[in-house]
Structure formats: structure tokens, C-alpha cells
Structure 1
């Protein structure tokens, strides 16, 4: 027996969603499954009942070309359409006096043929009349449940099954019978619920793909596909596209326990998802042919379209109502500075946008509530310990199942819909729905699903379908799509308003800062300029004392006069630097193409480096590229950086300065490097601040030079930074945009 064959699978409660129903290697009794190689169209596998249905020996079929097995006209039609990549359609043919229909489908490298009796078709005139009638009734239906009932009545009329139900899935894939039409003697199952395990995921997936499925005789004897393993792939063949494939033994036993002899099931697909099923049951075997099944599928699609229209209209009505409230909330938020106040303390409040019991806003660590809600401390804990890991939006109709702490306040908040907003991680807007106390009727006890063997719980089909009541606790009315849409739109508005207010505040603050900076620069220039007159007086009289009365002064007085003259000189230099700093901020740029090499040469000459620093070696890259900038400001920048380099390397045994450049991402990076004292790298940002110095008192300076350099570079929208290490010198780098090669 090959690995993966269905007969070897033991289905447990933990793996029932992985039951391999797509590779059940058997066929239902009423038809034949043939599997052909898609390239050669020779029969590679076939169900054993071909002998009893066609009267053809199985051994002669296996490996034979399809043209030798089916009538030539049928086989050639399939071959031609496959060659031309055309859609395959069912073909009728006769064997003896019996009419058959061959239904083709493709699965990977195989052509799968379902061959079944052609049967009787629906009267087209009667079908059209009934379809017209049902469309009119569906249009007139007041609710979704009314539409479901009308659809069930039509299917019952056309196909005459004993019971026709519309079965709707919830978000957890539990099902509910929302419509039913039945024979009088049968017990009603309307309103009964069934757990998700009754229709597991593999079955739901195949319904989505195939659309309709028939079991003509629940008590059929399955016919094995021979050989079980494909001689082409060496694996069990995927026959999920076959309507004739055998049914899961678990499902067969399930139907037998329900007293069902035959069934027809069609998928109701809404917006690309499985919404529910049309489920037809009959007490005795019942076969309806392919065309009748396609009619049922067509009806289901019509119903799905009408259902989509109904739900869309409901969505639009609900969205329109919430939009009206949202517009009023937006007006309140734009008119009132405090957004929380605007959402909570006026009419309408944010909770009015949804059908809910109450809500909360958590902003900047504070909790604000409206309506019936948990305690504020409980809401804060909910946010900190649960919602923090739930993304931007989160919703649940049963919060206590996910967050056990919520069981304490389930009467007020069994349902929750939350959204994050604002700049902070912990800012939330939350809606709560109270517990909807109700009794749910199940078709049998949903908990009794398995038996224990060797410590493993194995799945067994439901045996009892008697009405079983369960009191539901901690579950609220589910949130709908229009609820999520309303919340999403409101949150977008809140974020937009918050961002706009922040932008307005930043713009206002920036305007005030610019004005204050201008006033400060003007004040600095004015003060610095006005300080010169008294300073000159102090310096002048100190020099008169020095020149004319020096001999009359004692040692202490002479020392005092020297200090006055020296301090006045330092003060004069500082005033010059302050004036230079102020002028950088006040002066408009006059950009031109500059020779950086010439500016460097001029700066070295201005420093009188040859005489003031005779031992310093200065290396200048001959290929220094030109730059675009304000000549006076760039001269200040380079002059200050060279002055720094000369000063702080002057005490080295072999002082050396290097002035050069390199390319970085198509930009010229200029540098001025020295081998001087350097400084602690933690001060790399501090040294560019006004009056900030990190050098020892052995080196004179005002602490303004590098501030001027930084301001010049900023004025040019450039960059200035330093790399340094104590005792190993410093390298100052700067970039000037709009450079010219």
C-alpha cells in the first residue's frame, strides 16, 4: 500500500482538517472514473465498475488509447480541443441501448473523465418559468433569511428532494440552518447549529472549487480505481475535480446516522468566500444528472449574486448612516482643540457611529469612557496586556475566549472592536458590545465527537441529531463589514486632524523661532557693536597708564594694568567673533564658483603661518576641486578650520597639517587634518555650539570659531563633522552641495 493512500489514514480530532479526501482512490457506484495521460490520451487508471456498467473488460482498457475505449467521435473531440487549448465540454454517447455522458476535467498531467448515465434533463420551459418567478421573489424579499427560504423552495420544487436546507457558516465555520423546505413527516432542523468539524476544511475547499456535489446512494459500494497508484507519477492521483469520486467514510457514516439515502450539495460563494451551502437530502437513493446539477449550480450562482446585492445594499445603507455621524464628529474635532473632548462630550459621541453599548478612548495614558464599559483600570490593563500585540485593528465577538480577564466584565464587553490612532503606541479608540444571552440549539451535542484509544481521541461521525440546547455565555453580536468600514474611516479622519494640528503647531512654533532668532542676531550684532566704544575707552586709558605713569606704579598696579590691556584685547577679539557669527545669520548668500585651493592659500597667508608656525608642515592637494558658495562665508569657514589646525598642533614635535578631498556618493568631501592634541569623541557635537570649548587653557580661543564654521555650512545646506582621538589629532570634514567639477 503506498504512502499517503486514504485507506491508511486514521483521522483524529487533531488532523481531521487534513483528511486527504482529494485522493480517495475509489468511485461511486453509479458511474465510471477514467484517468488518462494528458500527453498520449491513453487510459492509465480506471474504476473497476467499468465491467459492470460498460460490459468492457478492465484489463483491455488499461493502457489502451482513449479512441479505442470511447466512441471515436467523442475521443477525437477531446483530443482536438486539448490540442487547440479549447474548453472541454461533456459529450454524450451510447453503449448498447444505454446513453452516457462523459464529463471531462483536467488535474495536473491527467485528463479525468466522469462517465455516468445521461439521465433526464429538466423541462427548459418550466425551468425558465420557475427561474423568472424566483428572481422576482428574490428581488421582493425583505431580508437575507427570506431570500434563503425562497431559494430553498425553488430547489425543492425543481429537484424534489425530501429536505432542502440553506446552511450558513459563521466566522468560526460553525453552521446554522437558516432556511428549510421539507416533506411534512420530517422533523424540522430549521435554526439548528452544527460545529465546524461536521464540514472540515478539505471539504469546504473542494466545494469552493467544484461548486456542486452529488451522492446518489449513501449506501453505495465503492468501486476501487485500478491501479491504486498512478503508473505515470508513482503517487495516488488527485481526483478532486471528479464529481464521481467516492466519499469520505466518515461523511458516509454521518449521513447514514442522519437517515439520509442520497444528497446534493451546492456551494454559495459570496465575494470570493464560502458563505454557505444548499444541502439537499433524500431518504432513498436518488440520481440527478449532470445538466440538472449544473442547473442547480446556476441557481445557486443567481442566488449568490442576489445575496451579494442585498448585502451590498445593506452595507451602503449602514455606511451612509455612519458617514452622517462621522461628518458631525469631524466638524466637532476641527472646531474643538481637544480631540478626546470633541469625541466624548458632545452630541454625537464616537460610540454613536456603531451599534454598541459603550466605548473608550485611551490617549497619553489616560482612559476616557462613554456609555456602558468596563472600569478604567480594566481597560488600561486590557490595552497594556492584550491589545498591544493585536495590530492596528482588532475585533472579536468573544473577548473572554482570547483574554480570560474579560470574563469579569463580559456583561458589558463580550464584543470588542479597537483601533490604534495617534503617534503613541498606547493610543486606542475602542467600542464594546454587551453579552448577547441566548440559547443555541445544536443538532446533537457538539462536544461529543470522538473516542479515546491509546491516549488519542479519534473522530467518529455524529450518531445523535436530537436537538441539544446550549446556553451561550460571553458572546456578543458579531461585528459586520460596515462596522469595520465605519471605524476605519473615522480613524483616518482622526489621524488626519491630529497630523494637521501638529503641522499647524510646528509651523507656528517654527515661525516664532525664526522671528526670535532674527531678533537675537540683531540684538547680538547691536550689543557687540555698542560694546566697542566703552571697550576702547578702557583700553585707551589703560595704555595711558602704561605709557606715562608706569614708573610710578608699584608691582601690583603694573600687573593690574597689564591684565586690563590683555583682557581688553581678548574682549575685542570676542566682539569680532560675535559680529562675524551674527553676520553669517543675517547675510544673504551670494553664490559663485569658487577655487577652494585659492581660498586655502589665502587663509594660510592670512594666518602668517610661515612666521607664526615655522615648524609646521602644510600639505595641500593640488587637485582640490572647485565649489559653489558665498566667497566671504566659505573663506570664514576654511580660515577658522585652518586656524584651529595650526593652533592645536603647534605644540607637537613635528606638527603637520593636510588639506585634501575625496569622493563620496558623487559628492566632494573636503577635509583639514592635523596631528595635534585631539579631544574626547564624546564632545564631537558640543564643539560646534556657541562659546563651547573642550581644549585646555594652554590654547587661547573664544569658542566661537567652530560655531561660525557650522553656521556657514548649514547656511549652504551642507554638512560639517569631525573625527578625533585624544593625542592623535583631529580631522574636520565638510561637504558643500551644488559643487562643480
Structure 2
């Protein structure tokens, strides 16, 4: 874990330290298993069921009158009254594992004295921490309670996050007496922290506005801050008292002190505190939705021992602070909905009917709703982008995020390039944007030079990646906020990079350095401020942005579902209408053939029986009746065939296109040879997924057309090939079969007509005649497959017919 969490710059910096230094040891250190406590108190871990002491601090003899070696394995009643033990058990009972603090008189023989005991349960043990209390230091509840009440009242009156932080640091300093109290907010779960509020004694360095590297508080420390709300270090030079035994027989590890108030401190952290001139400290966790938002950090120039009730008050204050932050955020979210609800509803209405088309038409309003630089829509596998171009892999990555979201959940990031860098290498396919592609490829910068802040000091400009161009680098925006629509579909707002200037309390590129006392962690302080510019980040998304997006999702989902229902009803009506039309066409064609056959036979028999006695005009009219009846029969046969295409099912399978072409040439080959048209094809054609009989019809019709409309030239050719073409709505590429000839060609203004039923651009007898059904049949077959058919043609140059077959429908489940 440690080496993965450290940046490359941190690893390079530790390697440059004289004698070497492994900062990942700090990251990996099991700080909850250090096996010691601060020496001003002592500790006993006692089995809940039996009351037998499992572990004891080695100073128990000095404070409780019984040596640790003698206490372990003995009953806790040797140093604690039965009533007090029962009260400890009762106070620590509960599923939430909440600890308790109570006054007791404990010890053996002459060592009996007053203690404050903090107790909590872990792994079947009650862990009790004894802190001596002098009788002269009696707790005065009334005065203390009034101070806490005033502090909480002032906190509740705070109207913004900034006000809340300022009130918190002032009240905690009044409660504890520390020399410096700061509110420290993390930039993301694993990111650095910024001092956003401060209350400090005169003569101490101001830290307000300074940033501290993420390595100052490694991941395991952040996890402990989420579990244990308060951490107190009475004296950085305190000699640690070890536990006996060092390793528990039951677990094979030291006693877990995650919830301990007296837990000893990592040497790494002690070095850090000494380097900044701090003798005592306290940290109170600030949580938001169960995750660490920040800390209230306290520092003293002298050792400070806080009584348990003061620690409890600070812990209560931290919880109240966290609740107040949540309340402020919820109020801001509600205010944002009130202010933006009308605009969100208007945008939802604009997008309700046809998302893709509406997004392009109303891109400005959709972007303005979130103050975004672009909007991206994924729907049905098709991408629509309003704004700068977006790489396809970026859109796919956002799709994966959307697929993980719960219904109505909003996801956002202000550091999308960083997130993508942790995944696979980017692809090069891009989704075209309405305004075209912008931006250049990102550069990496690691230029950090020490620069003391003062007159004539050089300004250090660092970067985590990016360019001077504020536009997107290589099609990757800096920030994204998205809402899922339906499975696989989402709407996302995207933001440009916004370089952020920062003042660091230490050079973030040099987290390790030999200090004045030989310690190996970087000293911090305003006397050595480092300036940098953070790149690859967008303006952060606010709770208000997320609230508006959630409200838009609710409105938009309702409209989309409504339109989907309406469209479903229309599609069903259209299906029934098409079925009726197919049935009518089939019945009409079939029923008309019988009287038509009678008319034809009557004309033929009349000519045979009485032709010699008829005048030439009558014979000519009878011949015309025969010819027209034949033509009508041909048209009815074509109509019957066209109707059957709409009624018959498809039997799709994967088949080699080479075999299909061979079969079609058995029918169309003689006609091509007669017109001296040469067939060209590559050595090998791929497989296609289609109905074999229907594919044969397509190829035969297109090849016969190439023969019919061959130009008057010696090199008559028709080519059959497969090409990669752009998919519909910019959704990547797909394979299309193309039949290309160098024949007569078709004028641009008449190309759409050639696919109409019974439509010929030439006379009935020209170019071999025909009913004008062939290309209409081709179009119907392609559309039945879910594909596309289109034409590229130029008179005197030739024509190219492209067709695809779309994706095969999934097999239906058995009833």
C-alpha cells in the first residue's frame, strides 16, 4: 500500500536524503499496534467474561501498586473495586462500541488513589486507561457546562463553512488553552490539506492559507481519525511505556490500541512535531458522511495534559462541528434547488422530446445550467457531444462510472486526467464535437526550486501535468459531473482545466529532508513558503451543482420515460399498421392475379380463334391487352415478393461473404458477362451475420443493376468489397459491404428516388427493362436486418451501394 500511495516525486526525494530514507515505512507503519502508552497514565486490557487481565502497561506497579507481570493472568478486582468494574462493564455495553469515562479509586495497598478511567471494548476485552487525578483538581461541572453550551451555541449560529471553521478554532482554543488551533481541510480522501481557519497566540507563525503535503497524514492515520475522533499527545518527549506482554498469545499481535486515548505516538510523527517547534498536540476529527473531511489541529509550546472531560467536550464539539457542516451543506443544497429549480425544469423540458437533437440545439442552456464548458450524452451506445472533442476512452470511462451508480446518484470529479492516468492507456478514437477539436497533448513538469518567501525571492512554479493552453489536452477535460439516465446511458457536464495557485508550508517536491535536530521529515513554517500552480484540475463541483443535477435527473427521467411510453405506443400502432399493409398488399396482389389471368387468357384465345377475321386495329388492341396483362402480372409478382419480405422471419447466421458472392454470381454472372462487365473482389472477404437467402437477393439485384447500367466504355467493372465506415451519430466505426461500378451513375437530385417501389429513372424498356422493385427490395431487406443502405454516385463516374446489417437481436428466452 505505502509505495503505491506515494508519488514519484516523493520517492525521488527520499532517495536523495543522505544515508537514505524510506518514507513508505511511515505510510505502512501499523500505528494502532505500536505496543505502548504515554507515561502519565497506565492501561489494563481485561477479558469481559472472566475479568482476567490480558495485557498491562509496564508502569502499572508505579501507578496501581501491582507489577504488570503479576497483574497479567490475575483478576482485575485486585486493583479495582467490584462496583467500579460492574460500572465499567455497564458503561461500555452497546452495539456502537461507544467508550465511557468515569472517576474511580483504584490501586492496591498504599497506591490506592483517584483516577479518571477511559474505557472501551475491543476483541472481547475492556481496555481501561487510568489517568491520575489530584484531589485539588476536582471537576466543576456547572462552569464547564456553561462554557460548552456557549461554544455549541456559537457554532450553531455559523452561517457558512468558513464561519463554522472560524468559530470552531476559537472555541476549541478557549476550551483547551493550546497556543495554536487550526481547521485543516483535506483536498480529497488521499489529498493534501489546507488551513482554512486559525486562532493563534501572539508570536507564533501564522499558517492560514498554507497547504501541507498529503504525506504528512498517511492513509492508516486517516483511517484511525475516522474511527477515533480525538487524538492527544501530552508531551512529544514523553518516554513511552511498553505493554506486557508485547504480543498477545490469543492474536499473535500487539494489543490493538485504535480506540485508546493514551496510545503512544509514531516516531515519525514525533519528529514532525519537534521540527515545527510543537511540544504538545491534539487532533479532533471532522467527518462528512462518515468520511474524513478535515481536522481541528491543536499545538502547544509546552506539555499539556487534558482531563478526560475536556477531551470528551472537544470530541463532542467535533461531532457538533461535523453536524453543522452537514446542515450548512444541506441548506445550501436546498437554496440551490430553489434558485435553480426553474432553470433545471426548463432545461429538462428542452431535452425531453429528443435528447440527441435537443442537446445540440440547446447546448448553451444545458452548459450554462452547470457553468460547464461542454456536455456529453451517451444514449443507446451513441455519443453526442456539445463542446470540445472528447476522446472515446474518456466517454467509455465515464460510462463505467455511470453503470456503478445507484438510481438518481450523482458522480463528479475535478481531476479527471488523474483518474484516467490510473487506468489503461488511452485510445485515439475521438467523438466529434460541435465546435471541433481543441487542445494539445499534456506535458509533465517537475520543476520545484526552494524559494524562501520574501523580497526578491524567486517564485517557484510547479505542475502536476498540463500545458499553458486552458483548453483540453488531447480530448481530456479536467472535470466531469454525470447523472445516469438508463442502464448504459448518461448525461455529463465537463469543465476545462483551471490552474490553482497554492502556498505550501513545505516544498511538496521534497517531503523528506534532514532537519536541524537530525530528524528526517521536512520542517514546516511560514518562514519557508513555497508557491506552486496545480494543473490538470477543474473548478470543483459544489454541493449545489450536485443538487441541481439530481433535480434535473428526476425531471429528465420522468420526461424520458413518458416519451418512451408514448413512443412505444406509436411503435405498436405503426407495427399494426405495417402488418395490415403487408396483409393488404399480399391479399390484393394474390386476388388480382386471378381476374388478370382471365383477361390475358381471353385476349389470347380471341386472337387464336378469330384473329384472321379481325381487322389490324383490333388485333393490335388485343396484343396490347396481352402485353399489359403480362406487365401487370410481373408487377403483382414483385408486389407479392415485397410483401412477403415484411412478413417472413429472418434466419440470421454468420456466413462467409465469399460464398455468398459466389452464389450470387451463378445467377447474375451470365448477365454481367453478356454486358462485358468484369467482377473485381479482394482475395478474401470477411464473415457477415445475415439471412443467407436475403443476402443473395441483395447481391443479385445490385450485380444485375451493374450490368444493366454499364457505361459505354471498354473497362466495365463492378467491385465487391468491405470497408470501415463511420457509424451513425458518430458512434465509432462499422463494416459495410460495398458494390461499386463504373457505370452511368445517378444525378444527385434523383438518387433518393431509386429506392422507391416501382420507380425507374429510365423508360420501361430501356437498359433491359424491369419493374423498378429491385432496389426497393434491397432497402427493405437491409432495414429488416437493422442495417443501413446508402448510395454514392456521380454521372459518368459510377455508383457505389453501401449496406450494413446492424447487430443481431439477442435470442429470446424460452417460454
**TM-score where L is the length of structure 1:** 0.64
> Deviation at 1:192?
1.4
CA contact (8 A) 1:42 1:63 kept: yes
> Deviation at 1:227?
1.5
> Deviation at 1:200?
1.3
Cα deviations by residue, 1:142-164 (Å, 9 ceiling, x for unpaired): 42112211121111112211111
CA contact (8 A) 1:449 1:460 kept: no
CA contact (8 A) 1:325 1:352 kept: no
Does 2:293 match 1:275? yes
Partner SS state of residue 225, structure 1: strand
Describe the shift of the 1:336–1:20 C-alpha distance in structure 2 as closer, same or farther (beyond 3 A): closer
Question: Residue in 1 aligned with 2:738?
Answer: none
Rounded to whole Å, the distance in 2 between the matches of 1:383 and 1:473 is: 23
CA contact (8 A) 2:185 2:293 kept: yes
Rounded to whole Å, the distance in 2 between the matches of 1:330 and 1:488 is: 12
Does 2:512 match 1:450? yes
Rounded to whole Å, the distance in 2 between the matches of 1:84 and 1:390 is: 43
Partner SS state of residue 441, structure 2: helix
> Deviation at 1:264?
1.6
CA contact (8 A) 2:26 2:268 kept: no
Question: Residue in 2 aligned with 1:463?
Answer: 523
CA contact (8 A) 1:164 1:180 kept: yes
Rounded to whole Å, the distance in 1 between the matches of 2:580 and 2:88 is: 87
Most deviating of 142-151 and 496-505: 496-505
Does 2:206 match 1:188? yes
Rounded to whole Å, the distance in 2 between the matches of 1:436 and 1:84 is: 49
Cα deviations by residue, 1:582-601 (Å, 9 ceiling, x for unpaired): 9xx9xxxxxxxxxxxxxxxx
CA contact (8 A) 2:115 2:132 kept: yes
Question: Residue in 1 aligned with 2:742?
Answer: none
CA contact (8 A) 2:53 2:71 kept: yes
> Pairwise mapping of residues 229-628 of structure 1 onto structure 2 (< 5 A)?
229-334=247-352, 338-344=357-363, 349-356=365-372, 358-361=373-376, 367-369=385-387, 379-380=388-389, 382-391=390-399, 392-393=401-402, 395-401=412-418, 402=420, 405=441, 407-408=466-467, 410-412=469-471, 415-419=478-482, 429-438=492-501, 440-450=502-512, 460-465=520-525, 466-474=527-535, 475-490=537-552, 493=555, 497=559, 501=563, 504=566, 507-508=569-570, 510-536=572-598
> Deviation at 1:11?
8.6
CA contact (8 A) 2:105 2:112 kept: no
> Deviation at 1:13?
3.1
Partner SS state of residue 450, structure 1: coil
CA contact (8 A) 1:34 1:43 kept: yes
> Pairwise mapping of residues 39-78 of structure 1 onto structure 2 (< 5 A)?
39-78=49-88
Question: Residue in 1 aligned with 2:30?
Answer: 20
> Deviation at 1:130?
3.0
CA contact (8 A) 1:33 1:245 kept: no
> Deviation at 1:487?
3.3
Does 2:220 match 1:161? no
Describe the shift of the 1:535–1:251 C-alpha distance in structure 2 as closer, same or farther (beyond 3 A): same
CA contact (8 A) 1:415 1:478 kept: no
Rounded to whole Å, the distance in 1 between the matches of 2:274 and 2:62 is: 26
Rounded to whole Å, the distance in 2 between the matches of 1:61 and 1:275 is: 41
> Deviation at 1:416?
1.9
Describe the shift of the 1:297–1:121 C-alpha distance in structure 2 as closer, same or farther (beyond 3 A): farther
Rounded to whole Å, the distance in 1 between the matches of 2:553 and 2:228 is: 40
Does 2:245 match 1:227? yes
Most deviating of 359-368 and 421-430: 421-430
CA contact (8 A) 1:400 1:410 kept: no
Cα deviations by residue, 1:486-517 (Å, 9 ceiling, x for unpaired): 33543565566556556545644553453344
Rounded to whole Å, the distance in 2 between the matches of 1:80 and 1:502 is: 60
> Deviation at 1:140?
3.6
Look at both structures and tell me which one has the larger radius of gyration over its CA atoms. 1
Describe the shift of the 1:319–1:118 C-alpha distance in structure 2 as closer, same or farther (beyond 3 A): farther
> Deviation at 1:437?
4.3
Question: Residue in 2 aligned with 1:93?
Answer: 105
Describe the shift of the 1:538–1:80 C-alpha distance in structure 2 as closer, same or farther (beyond 3 A): closer
Most deviating of 150-159 and 493-502: 493-502
Rounded to whole Å, the distance in 1 between the matches of 2:84 and 2:198 is: 41
> Deviation at 1:66?
0.9
> Pairwise mapping of residues 659-674 of structure 1 onto structure 2 (< 5 A)?
none
Does 2:219 match 1:201? yes
Rounded to whole Å, the distance in 2 between the matches of 1:243 and 1:196 is: 24
Structure 1: state its 5+ residue gaps: 1-9, 370-378, 453-457, 548-563, 586-680, 690-734
CA contact (8 A) 1:22 1:240 kept: yes
> Deviation at 1:451?
6.8
> Deviation at 1:321?
2.6
> Deviation at 1:118?
3.4
CA contact (8 A) 2:158 2:164 kept: yes
Does 2:158 match 1:141? yes
CA contact (8 A) 2:413 2:479 kept: yes
Most deviating of 409-418 and 280-289: 409-418
> Deviation at 1:368?
3.1
Describe the shift of the 1:16–1:501 C-alpha distance in structure 2 as closer, same or farther (beyond 3 A): same
Rounded to whole Å, the distance in 1 between the matches of 2:154 and 2:484 is: 46
Cα deviations by residue, 1:290-334 (Å, 9 ceiling, x for unpaired): 111101111222222222111111122223333221111123334
> Deviation at 1:76?
4.4
> Deviation at 1:353?
1.2
Rounded to whole Å, the distance in 1 between the matches of 2:519 and 2:555 is: 50
Question: Residue in 2 aligned with 1:640?
Answer: none
CA contact (8 A) 2:352 2:560 kept: no
Question: Residue in 1 aligned with 2:144?
Answer: 127
Rounded to whole Å, the distance in 1 between the matches of 2:309 and 2:146 is: 17
Rounded to whole Å, the distance in 2 between the matches of 1:480 and 1:459 is: 40
User: RMSD of aligned C-alpha atoms?
Assistant: 4.4
How many pairs does the alignment contain? 547
CA contact (8 A) 2:183 2:197 kept: yes
Question: Residue in 1 aligned with 2:118?
Answer: 103
Partner SS state of residue 411, structure 1: coil
